[in-house]
Structure 1
């Protein structure tokens, strides 16, 4: 599988905000030229079809920054709605997006946009040492692989993940990606019901593996498969172990239940945030010691 990379989908038209408001999980009324937002789209069953950062460079125009493999599929998802809103969808080709290592400034807000110069700007991603860079010359910057953000239990959703998870299973509410007050969007009733009735039994967690594995077991000898899905597995340079980003039952993680991958016991790693927390935007990024 090729390395992940970011792309930009441009949504433009007089009713672009109205169109997006009925399609995405974030509140488009909060998105401006200085404030972006994390959001997702869902199917009728509340399963995530895409995840993105959305920003407005000017009135009537929005950029969705997302893993590049999703652009064509999201355009196809929305094609049937476009005639009703006179909105155009176009992959952005002049500006590019990438991830850079950069600390957020004190008192910054989640997804706050800071202009670097006429050719680049940054979007804060919350309490982690990485930010989204938008630039006309992205190759001139010291970009890091998207997979490195998995160390922060942040997933850049790809086309292979479509239709499999509720947003809360990917911890999107913990990053401010779900607005429960904005009103309807596709899948909203299922997402809200799962949140308010406590029906989300799985979350995104970090595990350490001795070697890559796509199948996890409760008992290797008995071949008892664990109800855990591995979404990413990246080798770490510090100890040569592999960091796995998994969707797993919370009861297994909370109990530190022994799990095996690749014939070796895996380790549950501490999470950099509370997986059940809910961030409501706009919100300031908490300062760390």
Structure 2
């Protein structure tokens, strides 16, 4: 994107495909701990949904309750296969009388095509949201003050959003927001944030923050692999068990109420020599040569090594013997998530 090439000129960052790459990714991630950062979210792409029947349309396709989403709120949601496997994880919010979605860039084109196949005669229009808009992530310990001084809306709480002059600010958690803005407005937003000592950072820094917050992103390497609960999606508010049918709903509900879940998403850490990427398989002694899971999100750790979100067999996690790539691969250790996995089925 030309806008990001221009704004990153003179920094140690550059655009490479669907990533913002740093010359020193570990140092880039370490900067997140030192102060405020802003990350061009080129690993995500948007979809705009408009029309008289758009609420019902999205409600009937996604895992969350779109009808109950208030105008100042956002929600995690998913689009699933008929077998209940997640084809995309998405952030959804109101905008311009309709909705916007943010999802992984490498599944964006395919998901947009699939969604359009459901439109038929419905009064719904779906548009590629990257044509004239861009997404920027901001993380700060003094988030509200930072946004206010940059003349941006300040959402009051996580999963709330504010809008002004065509710009949406969606608060993910205590320290992070996603800014959805017209491309022409981003240079001014960037400048205003820089004036508040918000430093540019790469995609690895945002991935690391996702890992710390236990927020998964379904990408091409993990598409159609997991039901929502395996990715802890019901724990972060991405599934409604009280709404009507949607693709895969029967499988997701059965997994919840019959208590047959054998895999969960965990936070893993690896030593400095770990070579890991999204989609790499995991192994455990009790399962011999059978893979027990897969890496979902991977980021360099601030002090070296790697951190990751991974879906794996609950039994293997309880035994604590987890190896990357093969039964003789690098041993990984479990780390804490910000929410409890000890949740009764059916709740």
TM-superposed CA distance for 1:109, in Å, is: 4.3
Determine whether 1:188 maps to 2:254: no
Determine whether 1:114 maps to 2:162: yes
Equivalent in the alignment of 2:22: none
Moved over 6 A (4+): 104-107
Deviations 1:78-99 (A, max 9, x none): 2322122132211122222232
**CA spacing shift, 1:229–1:70, aligned 2, 3 Å:** same
In 1: Cα distance, 2:71 partner to 2:294 partner: 37
Q: How does 1:255-274 map to 2 (within 5 A)?
A: 255-261=318-324, 263-274=329-340
TM-superposed CA distance for 1:168, in Å, is: 0.6
Equivalent in the alignment of 1:281: none
**CA spacing shift, 1:275–1:84, aligned 2, 3 Å:** farther
TM-superposed CA distance for 1:102, in Å, is: 3.6
Q: How does 1:1-289 map to 2 (within 5 A)?
A: 2-3=18-19, 5-59=43-97, 61-92=98-129, 93-102=131-140, 108-115=156-163, 117-118=164-165, 120-126=167-173, 129-136=175-182, 137-138=185-186, 140=190, 142=200, 145=203, 146-148=206-208, 149-210=210-271, 211-213=274-276, 214-219=280-285, 224-238=289-303, 240-253=304-317, 255-261=318-324, 263-277=329-343
In 2: Cα distance, 1:21 partner to 1:233 partner: 31
Matched-pair contact (CA < 8 Å) for 2:218–2:296? no
Matched-pair contact (CA < 8 Å) for 1:41–1:48? yes
* Other structure's SS at 1:41 match: strand
How many residue pairs match? The answer is 272
* Other structure's SS at 1:83 match: coil
RMSD: 2.7
Matched-pair contact (CA < 8 Å) for 1:36–1:53? yes
Matched-pair contact (CA < 8 Å) for 2:212–2:337? no
Matched-pair contact (CA < 8 Å) for 1:101–1:144? no
How high is the TM-score relative to the length of structure 1? 0.84
Equivalent in the alignment of 1:285: none
TM-superposed CA distance for 1:69, in Å, is: 2.1
TM-superposed CA distance for 1:2, in Å, is: 4.7
* Other structure's SS at 1:181 match: coil
Structure 2 portions without partners, runs of 5+: 1-16, 20-41, 145-153, 194-199
In 2: Cα distance, 1:215 partner to 1:28 partner: 34
Matched-pair contact (CA < 8 Å) for 2:48–2:128? yes
